[in-house]
Structures are given as structure tokens and as C-alpha cells.
Amino acid sequence: MTAARPAPRRKGARRMAEIPPAVLAALNAGREETITLVEWLAIDVRKLARALAADTGLDPAALGRDADALAALGIAARGKGMGAALRKHLDAHKQREAVEARLAEHPSDTVRAWACYAAVAESKLPLPRRLARAKPFAADRSMAVRETAWDALRPHLAADLPRAFALLERWVRDEDFRVRRCAVEATRPRGVWCAHLDTLKRDPEPGLALLEPLRADPHRYVQTSVANWINDASKDRADWVRALAKRWLRESPRDETRWIVNHATRTLRKKAAAG
């Protein structure tokens, strides 16, 4: 799996001016993985797309034109757009499966993020298969790719939340903490830079199918996501969150649960302090 790839052995740049020219060239050629958000933002999507096409047997001119049209957009829109472009070219490729496999294991985390969008976007896939396609990306050791996984899945989960929760119950019991976190992050009532799930804002109760098994998860990465899910809910259903917090502290008097509850009720405390 991509999660097993060794981490880059260099210090990430904090400002674009700090990125060595050789590193930037490698990032744009798809030979290097980003370490910081600054490096992710510095990538020239046009150069990377053409290098990727040449490396994988896709049409550099055609994929390059798609990248040219996306270059002026924000980073999120570029990523989704490149995923859609790859999906289009992959569907017409004679060796589609082989190319998809190369994209999923690509040295560039930016390319793997594009590959995730492309994999999940394939038309007419039933939800279980869509989840199966996203899972390796949810376990990727690059945070950028992991964020792409839940973002790519979210609209498909939103289209059938009862089915989504039933399928994701396996994910929250997965041995990989990154997969557990993805299940929670993908279903947050409000989420980050994504459309809200209005049905969960009105009634967050169905989310307990995923939250309950994780109320004492040992990984802070998962704890934070669970707390953020509940904090989202507190902005519309404070009563529900207060009752849940009280019950969890009573039924699970553990440090992990106490940390989750404390972080999950931060908005409620701020509102109370403001009067």
C-alpha cells in the first residue's frame, strides 16, 4: 500500500522562496513528494500533468490542455478537475487498469490525490466498490492524499447516508487508524470546505453508528476527528451534544473519552462564556 512508502528525507519548506530549485523541479516532474502545504501550493499543475502523461502513457498534449484550463483555479478545484480529467482519459485508455495502478502508487502525493479523485469518480459504481477504491488512499501516509479520500467520497456518501453509515461501520473498526479517521471525517455534519449534510445537522443521531466505537480510540488523529464531528453537531443540536457528552463521560471514564468530550464541547463553552 502507498502508506508503506518511506518518508522523504529532507526538511520541508515553510515559504515558497525556501524551496530549492532542484526540489521544485522534482515536484513538478512528479519525482518528489511534498512535505508541507507550501510545497503543495508551489507545484505547477501544467508541468506536473505533462510529466505524468509522458510517464504513464497518457496523451501529454490532451492532459496538458486540461491542466492549462485548470491552472488559474484554487488548489481544491484544481485537484478535483485533474481527477475528472484523468478519469476521462483513463476510460478511453486500452491499458486502463495498469495505468490506474501506477497512478495509485505514484511517487508524487499530488498525483496520488488526483488518482483518488479519478478512482472514486468512475461512473455507475455501487457505493461498496467506491469505498473499496478510496480505502488505499484513506490509508496513505500523506495527509494531502488522506484529505482527498474523504473529500472524494463525501458526495457519494451524502446521496445515501443510511447505506453509507452501514458500510462505514467496518471502517471505524479497521486496524488502520487513518481509515477509521476517514470514515468520521467524510460524514461530518458541517465539515471543512465542503457542502454541509443538512440531514445530520437536523438529526445527528445516525452518526452514532460511527462515533460510538471510537469514543475511546487511542489515536489522537481519530480523537480529533470524532470531537470535530460532535462539535459540528453542537452548532445546530446543542441539546444532543450535551446529552451525548454526559453519557460518554459516565459510561467511558477514560482519558481518551474525556479529551474527546472536552474538545467536542469547545463551541458550547465559548457560547456559554459569551453569555
CA dist 147 → 20, 108, 251 (Å): 26, 15, 32
Say what the pLDDT of residue 3 is: 41
- Say whether both 150 and 72 belong to one domain: no
Say what the pLDDT of residue 2 is: 40
Say what the pLDDT of residue 6 is: 53
Say what the pLDDT of residue 165 is: 98
- Span 33-61, mean pLDDT? 93
More confident residue, 8 or 100: 100
Domain that holds residue 165: 125-275
- Say whether both 255 and 145 belong to one domain: yes
Q: What is the largest distance, in Å, between two alpha-carbon atoms of the chain?
A: 64
Q: In this model, does residue 242 exceed pLDDT 50?
A: yes
Q: In this model, does residue 155 exceed pLDDT 90?
A: yes
Report the chain's terminal Cα–Cα distance, integer Å: 50
More confident residue, 209 or 6: 209
- Say whether both 105 and 228 belong to one domain: no
> Where residue 123 falls among pLDDT bands split at 50, 70, 90?
confident
Q: In this model, does residue 7 exceed pLDDT 80?
A: no
The x, y and z cell numbers of residue 201, run together, are: 445537522
Enumerate residues 6+ apart whose C-beta is below 8 A from 112: 2, 103, 104, 105, 106, 137, 140, 142, 145
- Say whether both 103 and 151 belong to one domain: no
Q: In this model, does residue 169 exceed pLDDT 60?
A: yes
The domain boundary residue, chosen from 68, 99, 123: 123
Region for 30 from its dihedrals, namely left if φ exceeds 0, alpha if ψ lies in -120 to 50, beta otherwise: left
Please report, for the domain that includes residue 195, its CATH number. 1.25.40.290
Percent of the chain exceeding pLDDT 70 equals 97
- Say whether both 114 and 7 belong to one domain: yes
- Say whether both 95 and 36 belong to one domain: yes
- Say whether both 241 and 105 belong to one domain: no
Q: In this model, does residue 258 exceed pLDDT 60?
A: yes
The domain boundary residue, chosen from 73, 99, 123: 123
- Say whether both 189 and 203 belong to one domain: yes
Instruction: Give the chain's domain count.
Output: 2
The pLDDT tens digits for 187-219 are: 999 988 899 999 999 999 999 999 999 999 999
For residue 170, the Cα-to-chain-centroid distance in whole angstroms is: 18
Say what the pLDDT of residue 275 is: 73
Rounded to whole angstroms, the Cα distance separating 231 from 101 reads 38
- Say whether both 87 and 162 belong to one domain: no
- Say whether both 96 and 224 belong to one domain: no
Average pLDDT, the chain: 94
- Say whether both 260 and 222 belong to one domain: yes
Q: List, as one string, the DSSP characters of 102-137.
A: HHHT-S-HHHHHHHHHHHHT-TT--HHHHHHHHHHH
Q: Is the dihedral of CA 114, 207, 230, 271 positive or negative?
A: positive
- Say whether both 33 and 91 belong to one domain: yes
Say what the pLDDT of residue 191 is: 84
The domain boundary residue, chosen from 84, 100, 123: 123
Say what the pLDDT of residue 193 is: 85
The pLDDT tens digits for 65-107 are: 999 999 999 989 999 999 999 999 999 888 999 999 999 999 9
Amino acid found at 190:
R
